[in-house]
């Protein structure tokens, strides 16, 4: 990536069956993001809270537009719908990061 800025996108699911949501998110990362990375995708990890009450997807992108494009795709929508079906709440946010963290 030539730019020294990146986007960090975080989706958190809480309550309900977070283990099922984490499993679904891992499957999505392996099937959709790792095998055929969409434009602007840099990396992703599935997060699981120590207390077991939340799970999430932390991903890095080149731009907000790249995230928006993926969010309109059927696999993304299906993965998010499955997680929402087994959890009580979904929170989604994105941040711009810059400097060494974004570059490497």
pLDDT tens-digit readout, 50-75: 999 999 999 999 999 999 999 999 99
Q: How far apart are CA 19 and CA 74, in angstroms?
A: 23
5-99 — its CATH code?
A: 3.30.70.100
Distance in angstroms between the alpha carbons of the first and the last residue of the chain? 8
Question: Is the separation of the CB atoms in 21 and 80 below 8 Å?
Answer: no
At 98, the pLDDT band (50, 70, 90 cuts) reads: confident
Mean pLDDT, rounded, for 31-40: 93
Report which DSSP code applies to 2.
Answer: -
d(CA 87, CA 103): 34
- What's the whole-number mean pLDDT along residues 32-43? 93
């Amino acid at each position: 990536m030539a730019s020294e800025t990146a986007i960090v996108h975080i989706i958190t699911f809480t309550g309900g069956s977070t283990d099922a949501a984490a499993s679904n998110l891992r499957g999505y990362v392996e099937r959709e993001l790792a095998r055929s990375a969409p434009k602007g995708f840099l990396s992703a990890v599935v997060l699981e809270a120590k207390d077991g009450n939340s799970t999430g997807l932390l991903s890095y992108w080149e731009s907000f537009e790249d995230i928006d494009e993926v969010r309109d795709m059927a696999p993304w929508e299906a993965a998010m719908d499955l997680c929402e079906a087994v959890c009580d709440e979904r929170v989604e946010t994105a941040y711009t990061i810059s400097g060494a963290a974004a570059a490497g």
